[in-house]
Amino acid sequence: MRYFIELSYRGTAYHGWQTQANGTSVQTTLEAALTQRFGKPMYVMASGRTDAGVHARQQFAHVELVEPFLFTDSFIYSLNCILPEDIVIHRIFPVREKDHARFSATFRYYQYLISRQKSAFESGLTYHFRPTLDEILMNEACKILLQHTNFQSFSKARANVTHFNCRLDFAYWERINEDSLTFHIRADRFLWGMVRTIVGTMIEIGQKRMSLELFEQIILSRDRNKAGRAAPANGLFLVEVGYPNEVLLARSMGQGAGFI
């Protein structure tokens, strides 16, 4: 039996999602809580790996059990009591054997938050960047970005992938107020470090230190060394992971008896 876990986390204290040999990860912490609750080793597979310091408002992972299990509200509450306060399980629901947290996902949607003002309450949850940014120019850069599919220039050089193509659904900057900007981007897949490098490069454009013509040349070069610095991890959020309706049907119908 396969079950999807819907969760969120603040990534500040973690060395990313994936289990690490030299630091605490979200995956290791979640698996430890499940192992403690079930009394046997438990392993999970996520929709994708977030980097160290990156947050998730919505993340999915799947876990497999030998027999059907009733995930009641009280059981999920007990798991959340075991987990640290910066990781929260929202639901656990049954899916079909072929449904996969990573490979069944149709899109990932990220947001990057920038604020000109320091906040006592948003520390670690936004990029405090004082210079004024021209979001009109940055949105022109987004239009250029959407005309392309190969984003090797924004991927870390050590990325272990077979290709660098991604299907972008949208990319745009939103002015929240005079001191806050949010970058929205959704794609079928993302390369390692891609969103933060795009943001870092567009910040150069927003400061009028890089032209739109040069930005397109960087994309066409497929050379990471020509792009800007990656923006800090603390402003990045995974906000939504999309699946076909039939995958999430059990979730929309409630926990039920935990069987399909």
- Which one is predicted more confidently, 70 or 238? 238
Q: Is 110 annotated as a binding residue?
A: yes
* Active-site position among 51, 86, 99, 223: 51
Residue 17 structure tokens? 């999602």
Task: Answer whether residue 208 is part of any domain.
Answer: yes
My answer on whether 156 and 65 are in the same domain is no
Same domain, 98 and 115: no
Same domain, 188 and 203: yes
Judge whether 99 counts as a catalytic residue.
no
CATH code, domain with 129 = 3.30.70.660
Q: 95 with 76, same domain?
A: yes
Asked whether residue 229 falls in the same domain as residue 160, the answer is: yes
Q: What is the mean pLDDT of the chain?
A: 93
The amino acid at residue 34 is L
Helix (H) or strand (E) holding 71: none
- Tell me the residue range of the domain where 184 lies: 107-239
DSSP 165: B
CB 90 within 8 A of CB 8: yes
Do 143 and 181 fall within a single domain? yes
Tell me the Ramachandran region of residue 193: left when phi exceeds 0, alpha when psi lies from -120 to 50, beta otherwise.
left
Give the mean model confidence (pLDDT) for residues 110-114: 98
CA atoms of 112 and 49, how far apart (whole Å): 16
Q: Are residues 99 and 194 in the same domain?
A: no
CA–CA distances in Å: residue 221 to residues 73, 141, 147, 246: 52, 16, 15, 40
Instruction: Kindly state the average pLDDT of the residues 188-216.
Output: 96
pLDDT at 234: 94
Cα gap 93→38, rounded to integer Å: 16
214 and 235 housed in the same domain:
yes
**Per-residue pLDDT at 257 exceeds 90:** no
Query: Residue 70: inside a domain, yes or no?
Result: yes
Q: What is the domain-level CATH number for residue 9?
A: 3.30.70.580
